[in-house]
Amino acid sequence: MDRIAGRFSRVEPRRTARAYLLGLLSRTERKNCWQLAEQAGLAQPGPMQRLLHYARWDADAVRDDIRAYAVEHLGTEGAVLIVDETGFVKKGRASAGVQRQYTGTAGRIENSQVGVFLAYATSRGRALIDRRLYLPEQSWCSDPERRRVAGIPDEVRFATKPRLAGEMIAAALDTGVPAPWVTGDEAYGQDPRLRAALEARGTGYVLAVACSTRVRINSGRTAVRADTVAGRLPAAVLTAPAVTAGRLLHWSHWRTRHQATARRSHYRRRSCWIDHETALEY
């Protein structure tokens, strides 16, 4: 709170923000305004609701403070940025971005919001350092009245989940977050623009793609399926276990034609984990 207190110009929202934060860190089962107000000893949820809906403070500036705080405490060599999404099941239709869509939270299509998140993971620990709300194109971005009622700024436009992930990664790296690697599941690995942006920055990545993804090998002369590449790796390849995005992977190492650097691939069922698609030679 010492770090972010200056983002609240008045003492009332500052005190409420502290109570809200303590409530989020508590063992309270549900983290809604009623439950958090009760946890803070308040008779009504009004202060919590005013903090979230009416109080004037810069959420992105607080995000920046928290990101810097996390890096100070967790930063070390070999850090990884992890992109992933999660859903928030909702009953109504007024919450920004809510619609019937697939959410891993429920494991099926549900009425929900979906957020894309960026985590920072090192040998010292892990923390969420950024977030973006996914705003569906047809049901929200193309409905001015619905946007107005929900308070969505005019400058917010439709963006795919991989694009939202790319924006967060770029923002983190541009502020100096030390993270030589990025990882994510197939929802992000299948986007060639995200992979190209990471390659342009010289940032390593391990992203899942469909096993049917075509990979260029032999100096780009041949295109084969990713699972075919993984299947052709020699049995004696060097492997090293690593936990990435909650999965135990075995990263198989080999060399490219032009660089004596390790490339990593892992084939498991329908997905193949790769980090580059150019000029693979084995």
Quickly state the pLDDT bin for 79 (edges 50, 70, 90): very high
Closest CA to 111 of 123, 98, 120: 98
The model's pTM: 0.80
Averaged pLDDT score across all residues of the chain: 82
Residue pair 98/92 in contact by the 8 Å Cβ criterion: yes
Q: What is the mean pLDDT of residues 107-114?
A: 94
CA 227 to CA 212: how far, in whole Å?
A: 7
Band (270; pLDDT cuts 50, 70, 90): very low
pLDDT above 90 coverage of the chain, percent? 63
Least confidently predicted of 10-24, 123-137, 242-256, 263-277:
242-256
What's the token pair of residue 6?
A: 């200056």
Closest CA to 122 of 166, 81, 84: 81
Q: Where are the domains of the chain?
A: 1-57, 58-179, 186-274
Residue 114, pLDDT score = 96
The SS3 assignment for 260 reads coil
pLDDT of residue 280: 35
pLDDT of residue 258: 29
CA dihedral over 139, 142, 146, 151, signed as positive or negative: positive
pLDDT band at 10 (very low <50, low <70, confident <90, very high): very high
